[in-house]
Structure 1
Amino acid sequence: MPNQSQAHTAQSSKLLAQLARLGAPATSDTLPCFAERLSRLFGLGDTMTLDAATSYRARQPGSVQSAMVDKLTDELATTRRALIRRIQGWADELEFDDEPELEPALNAWLALQRKVAANSRQLRDKVRKSMKDQGQNLARLAELDAVFDHTMASYTSQVFSNLSQVLEQRFQQLQTSSEQHQTQGQAPDNWFHRYCEDAQALLLAELDVRLEPALGLLEACHNEVNNTP
């Protein structure tokens, strides 16, 4: 499996590249370093919970089971393929009496975004739960991941909710551009098809970012299997 930090950087960069292409404001270079930004999300209570997680010891930790790790890895791959198929056909059921409208299109995209979020979260929870029976190291990592997941849940939800605003602006931009071209006597273009492709690409990038935590946990499980005599 690829190095997790490199993979996370690549997936995050892919999502940021999609946002930049769709006209989202660029991230300011004056932001503090990652460690400082992360520390702002942790209050005193979170810090105490994190400290408890770092010293966590399972009562009956068990041992690492490679079969379980392989099963969960296959499940992640299956989940990802199924979601990709849904995303690729997200606009197939959209119907309009006349010109495409923003609200039904955006609502369909938001419904699928919620499914992506829910499935990713369920898979992460399942991997984490299984790790508590896979030895002390993985049990402790599961506790740490639970703390980070809980602490960052609100921030993560807020960040991903902003993607719909980018799509709304993109819809209006493409629609206005098409109307201007027709006013100038140019042939109408299939601007809504381009919008659907943009929305699809953005959600595919989000999917990979959302699956990164589960993928990282599974990479740790594989490493533990390989390092266990």
Structure 2
Amino acid sequence: MAKAPYRPPVPGPAFIRLLAGFADGPLPAASPDMSDRLSQWVDWNRAVALSRALDGRLPALAEDAPVFDSAEQAECARVRTVLAGSITAAAEGRRATTSDDYAPHRQHCMAVQRSMQASTGRLRGRLRDMLGHAGAPMARLAEVDAVMEQTLSPREQVLLGTVPTLLGLHFERLRAAASPAPDDSDNAQALPAPAHEGWLARFHKDMQDVLLAELDVRFQPIEGLLAALRPR
């Protein structure tokens, strides 16, 4: 049996490592460092807006912004738990299916991504409102975060939008690897149930891991805002 080609470990968060593991063929060369990559994503209009947020006059304090307390932190934790639970529960339910069609999995992946985007966006905006009520330096931080979200979110959504496609390629490769060879007439009659269930169960687990890792990535800005709001 031929051995899979060795691939050096991919640096970066779990989300990147998992997606890189689905790649078919050699991985691309290392990408530029963060500062170089950001310079490609931030056009001059956004750069001016970011400069104003960093160096301009401090924004006026919000009079009616909600105040951060333990209940708000608990709400962030609750939303994250609900989203993670929906990912794992769906994966458990799908393990009972034997469908060879990727379309339902793609729809599920996209639905989970929309839910994550909506929930994290709402939390992030609310936490920024609280920063605006926590004093002038915190209000500036909130303004910087708003500019960064406006600047990076379009690019982020394009990149995250490739996840269903990458999972689809992974699905097809796993299915092809488990299928009998075209000239194997004895085995072509039917694929043994354990073999079928094995590759499909692996795919379900891989998709669950990817979506949970994406949830971690989407919560990183929220964790940063929470850290700024927590009492010292």
Same fold (TM over 0.5): yes
Q: Which aligned pairs between 1:49-198 and structure 2 lie closer than 5 A?
A: 49-54=49-54, 55-60=56-61, 68-91=68-91, 92=93, 99-180=99-180, 183=184, 185=187, 187-188=192-193, 189=195, 190=197, 191-198=199-206
Cα deviation, 1:60-104, whole Å, max 9, x if unaligned, reads 367xx9x724332211111111111100022426986x7331112
CA contact (8 A) 1:56 1:143 kept: no
Deviation at 1:45, TM superposition (A): 1.3
After TM superposition, the runs of 4+ consecutive aligned structure 1 residues lying more than 6 A away are: 93-96
In 1, the alpha carbon distance for the partners of 2:16 and 2:145 equals 24
CA contact (8 A) 2:87 2:212 kept: yes
CA contact (8 A) 2:61 2:139 kept: no
Structure 2 unaligned segments of length 5 or more: list them: 1-11
2:210 pairs, out of 202, 208, 212, with 202
In 1, the alpha carbon distance for the partners of 2:128 and 2:119 equals 14
Q: C-alpha root-mean-square deviation of aligned residues, in Å? A: 2.6
- In structure 1, the partner of 2:29 is 28
Distance 1:56 1:142, change over 3 A: farther
CA contact (8 A) 1:132 1:138 kept: yes
Distance 1:197 1:95, change over 3 A: closer
Q: Which has the larger radius of gyration?
A: 2
In 2, the alpha carbon distance for the partners of 1:147 and 1:161 equals 22
Deviation at 1:20, TM superposition (A): 2.4
Q: What count of residue pairs does the alignment treat as equivalent?
A: 209
Distance 1:32 1:89, change over 3 A: same
CA contact (8 A) 2:62 2:129 kept: no
- In structure 2, the partner of 1:5 is none
CA contact (8 A) 1:131 1:138 kept: yes
Distance 1:56 1:101, change over 3 A: farther
CA contact (8 A) 2:95 2:201 kept: no
Give the secondary-structure state (helix, strand or coil) at the position aligned to 1:89. helix
In 2, the alpha carbon distance for the partners of 1:187 and 1:115 equals 37
Relative to the length of structure 2, the TM-score reads 0.80
- In structure 1, the partner of 2:8 is none
CA contact (8 A) 1:90 1:112 kept: no
For 2:216, the aligned partner's letter is D
Deviation at 1:174, TM superposition (A): 1.2
Deviation at 1:192, TM superposition (A): 1.4
- In structure 1, the partner of 2:226 is 218
CA contact (8 A) 1:94 1:105 kept: no
Cα deviation, 1:20-78, whole Å, max 9, x if unaligned, reads 2323663522x32211211222222112211221124232367xx9x724332211111
Structure 1 unaligned segments of length 5 or more: list them: 1-11
Which structure is richer in relative contact order (CA contacts within 8 A, separation 6 or more)? 1
Cα deviation, 1:105-134, whole Å, max 9, x if unaligned, reads 211121111111211111111111111111
- Structure with the higher helix share, 1 or 2: 1
Deviation at 1:198, TM superposition (A): 0.7
